[in-house]
Chain A
Amino acid sequence: MADKVLMKGNEALAEAAILAGCRHYFGYPITPQTEVAAYMAKKMPKIGGTFLQAESEIAAINMVYGVSSAGHRVMTSSSSPGISLKGEGISYLAGADLPALVVNVQRGGPGLGGIQPSQSDYFQATKGAAHGDFHMIVLAPASVQEMAELTIKGFELADKYRMTSMILADGTMGQMMEPVDLDFKITPEPEKPWATTGTKLKRNHNIVNSLSLVPEELEQLNIARYERYKTVEENECMYEEYLVDDADIVLVAFGITSRVSKHAIDNAREQGVKVGLIRPITLWPFPKAPFQKAVGHAKAFITVELNMGQMIEDVKLATNCKVPVHLCNRVGGMIPDHTQVYDKIMEINEEVK
């Protein structure tokens, strides 16, 4: 194991992208993810890569579309309002089955919102980034180490399934500093025979395209894409369980709120309350297995979210609404402290005793 270095989450993510072989970054300034662009601006020219500040988020995602069409690992990063602008391009990436990494270091919304941490783009990331039937692989880091690890994982999954991977971080993950171990084993990039790299007059032309005017054909393309998504759901779900085995109450949280939740859980356990945590790491595909297991003994679930209650819908689906699912939340850039979560645990504990 190599020595750990102290890094900001955004910088660890950027360095991990370079380690993953990404040599093309396109972005547009927006708080709180600007460190990613700044890091790339410094590093890329020195390693023969491309950093380009695009004229807009829309242009940046379309530059990503171009590099991906040419068969290279490529990324862009932004924060909530910017991701909305990238939605069009993300839909085209899905329609053309192009791999890419998109990072969303979320801030409060809607509209211009604020610049403090948020998880209010959960619906957008997991269900409706833009028009059409499609999914992204959505990865939710809960530490600076995971900002790096999941970035590498994101590139690998994007290439494997020809999809967009999104790192869905909250502002806290981007801004906080922690020791990180960057000694990663990188899977080599797969061959991309579909890429538009020039025919060299040796093969038929490749076409990267999302247009399909014959409805029978477009239907089949959508069905085939969802077959691929099914494989992702079967093979790529990631989650962490913390003290779930005997839990009467199961908290569900990702990103920064999972860390706050653990603190509250430890305090509640000291008071004899059997409480645990399921932390989805992939938000799409949403890991259903730990919920199906936990619903056998849990009397209630509590989602801890920085939004008005978005992941709670997936938890209700994953548990088939067999037990109550409650919400403990703050919004607008506010983060619940462990006492708020503790109090919620105690309140629900009274109900289920």
Chain B
Amino acid sequence: MVVFEKPHALTDVPLHYCPGCTHGIVHRLVAEAIDELGIEGQTIGIAPVGCSVMAYDYFNCDMIEAAHGRAPAVATGVKRADPDNHIVFTYQGDGDLASIGMAETVHAAARNENITVIFINNAIYGMTGGQMAPTSLPGQVTQTSPYGRDTSHCGYPIRVCEMLATLEGPEYLERVTVNNVANVRKAKKAIKKAFQNQIDKKGFSLIEVVSSCPTNWGMTPQDALKWIDDNMLPYYPLGVYKDRSAKEEK
């Protein structure tokens, strides 16, 4: 009897992610949501530039690799090509979504583009070897903030969910994390809802997943998960920042 297996929406290609990285968990949650909603055959995923650049090899649905930061614009094109049949998601890191691609993110949200955005916030540029990200915490040491992020010099990290929640456009914004089993279960629920919203034509849903990068944070995987609790979550509180349909139902 099979009690645990790989979701159908994931391929058998071995992931290239570092040991302890939470990309693997989030990939699985996205794939489980796709499986449970029965939408793999109509789903088109957009991979970013960054650590998840090769996500196109890992998901069984049709996949597109986008230019750095441009995934929401590419997703807009794919969705508008066949809005009734295409289910479109982007999978983006913090550098991709909140730095070089901020305009595409904000405007896709403002248009309430009917897509699902999975946003991995690990407060660092992983793929290029650990540079300061738009979400790096004050004082955080990275390759390009070797003395710690000095807010008087390079400003403050951006809280994406809070910022997008000021817009009329988006349907659903939630910040989750995957640093323990209970949080993984909550993250799964949020991700599934973000896809269900698209199926129901409700519009733009973004799930920010506070994630770990043990390699570039210079920690063991366990310490990295604890660092999320101790440092990331105080700056990036978990929760639902916008849920238009729930608000309207009240």
| Interface, chain A (partner B; CB < 8 A) | 24, 26, 50, 52, 54-56, 58-60, 62-72, 74, 88-89, 92, 96, 196-202, 205-211
Choice from A62, A71, A210 contacting B74 with Cβ under 8 Å: A62
Asked, given contacts A69-B77, A199-B62, A205-B62, whether A59 binds B67 with beta carbons under 8 Å apart, the answer is no
20 contacts between A and B (CB under 8 A): A55-B106, A59-B103, A62-B66, A62-B74, A63-B74, A63-B77, A65-B66, A66-B77, A66-B81, A67-B78, A68-B77, A70-B81, A196-B62, A198-B44, A199-B60, A201-B41, A206-B63, A207-B64, A209-B64, A211-B54
Task: Name the one of B41, B81, B107 contacting A67, with C-beta atoms under 8 angstroms.
Answer: B81
Is the Cβ of B41 less than 8 Å from the Cβ of A196?
no
Distance in Å: Cβ of B90 to nearest Cβ of chain A: 10
Complex contacts, B66 vs chain A, CB 8 Å: 62, 65, 92
Q: How far is the CB of A150 from chain B (nearest CB, A)?
A: 24
Contacts of B54 in A (CB 8 A): 211
The docked-state distance in angstroms from the alpha carbon of A205 to that of B79 is 17
- A206 contacts across to B, CB distance below 8 A: 62-63
A58-B70, A65-B77, A88-B67 in contact; A70/B86 too (CB < 8 A)?
Answer: yes
In the assembled complex, B183 has its CB within 8 A of some CB on chain A: no
Q: Which 5 A-B pairs have the closest CB atoms?
A: A66-B77, A62-B73, A196-B62, A70-B81, A55-B107
| Chain B residues within 8 Å of A202, by CB | 41
Bound: A50/B104 CA distance, A: 18
Check A24–B77 contact: CB distance below 8 A: yes
Query: Cβ of B73 and Cβ of A198 under 8 Å apart?
Result: no
Q: Which residues of A contact B82 (CB under 8 A)?
A: 70, 197
Q: Which residues of B contact A55 (CB under 8 A)?
A: 103-104, 106-107
- Shortest CB distance B226–A (Å): 33
What 1/0 flags go to B173-204 for Cβ under 8 Å of A? 00000000000000000000000000000000
| In the complex, per-residue mask of B64-93: 1 if CB is within 8 Å of any chain A CB, else 0 | 111100100111111111100111000000
Partner-A contacts on B (CB < 8 A): 11, 40-44, 46, 53-54, 56-57, 59-67, 70, 73-82, 85-87, 103-104, 106-107
Q: How far is the CB of B47 from chain A (nearest CB, A)?
A: 8
The verdict on A50 contacting B63 (CB below 8 Å), with A70-B44, A202-B41 known, is no
Q: Give the shortest distance, in Å, between B31 (CB) and chain A (any CB).
A: 13
How far apart sit A200 and B64, CA to CA, in the bound complex (Å)? 16
- Measured in the bound complex, the distance between the Cα atoms of B75 and A89 in whole Å is 14
A147 to B175 Cα, complex, angstroms: 50
Cβ–Cβ < 8 Å partners of A196 in chain B:
44, 62-64, 78
Say how far B11's CB is from chain A's closest CB, in angstroms. 8
State whether B64 touches A62 (Cβ < 8 A): no
In the complex the two chains form, what is the Cα distance from A59 to B76 in whole Å? Answer: 9
Residues from chain A with Cβ under 8 Å of B67 in the complex: 62, 65, 88-89, 92
How many Å from the CB of A325 to the closest CB on chain B?
39
Q: Write the nearest CB–CB distance from A189 to chain B, whole angstroms.
A: 13
In the complex, chain B residues whose CB is within 8 Å of the CB of A65: 64, 66-67, 70, 73-74, 77
Residue of A52, A67, A210 with highest tally of chain B CB at under 10 A: A67
Contact partner of A198 among B56, B77, B85, CB < 8 A? B85
- The reply to whether A62 and B78 form a contact with Cβ atoms under 8 Å apart is no
* Closest Cβ neighbor of A89 among chain B residues: B67
Residues of B within 8 A of A63 (CB): 73-74, 76-77, 80
In the assembled complex, how far is the CB of residue B122 from the closest CB belonging to chain A, in whole angstroms?
A: 21
B42: chain A residues at CB < 8 Å are 198, 200
Which residue from A58, A62, A198, A207 sits with its C-beta under 8 Å from B86? A198
Cβ distance B70 to chain A, nearest Cβ, rounded Å: 4
Would B77 and A209 count as touching, CB distance under 8 A?
no
Looking across the interface, which residue of chain A has its beta carbon closest to that of B71? A62
Check if A69 sits within 8 Å of B40, measured CB to CB.
Answer: no
In Å, the complex CA distance between A64 and B66 comes to 12
Choose from B43, B73, B77, B103 the contact partner of A74 (Cβ within 8 Å): B77
Evaluate contact between A199 and B40: CB separation under 8 angstroms. Answer: yes
Assembly CA distance A71 to B81 (angstroms): 9
Residues on B with C-beta less than 8 A from A52 are 76, 80
A71 to B78, CA, bound (A): 9
A200 and B61 CA atoms in complex are apart in Å by 9
Q: Check if B62 sits within 8 Å of A197, measured CB to CB.
A: yes
Contacts of A72 in B (CB 8 A): 81
B81 & A24 in contact (Cβ 8 Å cutoff)? yes
Nearest opposing residue in chain B for A67, CB measure: B77
Chain B proximity of A134: nearest CB distance (Å) = 14
**CA distance in complex: A206, B106 (Å):** 29
Q: What residues on A are CB-neighbors of B44 within 8 Å?
A: 69-70, 196-198
In the bound complex, residues from chain B placing their C-beta under 8 Å from that of A69 are 44, 64, 74, 77-78
Given contacts A69-B64, A71-B81, 6 further A-B contacts (CB under 8 A): A59-B107, A196-B63, A197-B62, A205-B62, A206-B62, A208-B63
